């Protein structure tokens, strides 16, 4: 049983959202003691800009109050990931990639020296001991195909910050064959424990 679940929904849709409906089913199977939620369609995660980057790369003891304020949301998002045993990320594939809101969330979470560090042998993720379940839907893009730039990116970024136990629940190619898409989702859901 998952103790703390961090659920991140990236679909712009609320009604008739495949990813939200599947994420509801995954969450019900996991039966978490506590759920933290981020609906990226209802809140704006800002894009990185020069001021944010300057604040992030200023040593903590040298940061101004303004710089600390610029990083406050990033700190909050990272604390949520740290608190979670399992991340449940539900996202559609828009134009072959993840929605910009999910990229903005990841940009706030992937921070050098905090969620990953550089070593002599390359980057090392610091948020280990967690797992992630990706719920991914698409109209015409096959998950993990050559034109899917969302799923491999998410796996890579999660691994980059230390989360290497990643499972995918997919409902892809819905516009081409809705029944087959639903069947793939049911197979993947059956493997969620």
Residues annotated in the binding site, as ranges? 11
**Contact of 48 with 60, CB cutoff 8 Å:** no
Q: Going by C-beta distance under 8 Å and a sequence separation of 6 or more, which residues neighbour residue 47?
A: 104, 107
**Contact of 123 with 164, CB cutoff 8 Å:** no
Instruction: List the binding residues for FMN.
Output: 11
Interatomic CA distance for residues 187 and 27, integer angstroms: 16
Nearest to 85 by CA among 133, 122, 49: 133
* Main-chain dihedrals φ then ψ at residue 36, nearest 5 degrees: -105, 140
* DSSP calls for 158-188: HHHTT--EEEEEEE--TTT-HHHHHHHHHHH
Q: How many CA atoms lie within 13 A of 176 on its CB side?
A: 11
Interatomic CA distance for residues 159 and 74, integer angstroms: 19
The CB density around residue 69, as the number of other CB atoms within 10 Å, is 11
């Amino acid at each position: 049983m998952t103790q703390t679940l961090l659920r991140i929904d990236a679909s712009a849709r609320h009604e008739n959202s495949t990813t939200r409906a599947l994420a509801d089913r995954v969450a019900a199977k996991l039966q978490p003691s506590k759920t933290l939620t981020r609906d990226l369609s209802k809140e704006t995660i800002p894009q990185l800009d020069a001021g944010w980057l300057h604040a992030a790369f200023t040593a903590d003891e040298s940061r101004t109050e303004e710089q600390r304020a610029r990083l406050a949301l990033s700190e909050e998002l990272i604390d949520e990931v740290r608190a979670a045993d399992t991340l449940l990320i539900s996202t559609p594939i828009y134009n072959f990639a993840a929605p910009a809101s999910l990229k903005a969330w990841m940009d706030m979470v992937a921070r050098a020296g905090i969620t990953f560090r550089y070593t002599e042998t390359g980057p090392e993720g610091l948020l280990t001991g967690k797992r992630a379940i990706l719920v991914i839907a698409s109209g015409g893009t096959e998950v993990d195909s050559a034109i899917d730039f969302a799923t491999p990116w998410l796996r890579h970024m999660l691994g980059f910050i230390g989360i290497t136990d990643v499972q995918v629940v997919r409902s892809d190619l819905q516009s081409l064959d809705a029944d087959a898409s639903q069947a793939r989702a049911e197979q993947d859901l059956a493997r969620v424990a």
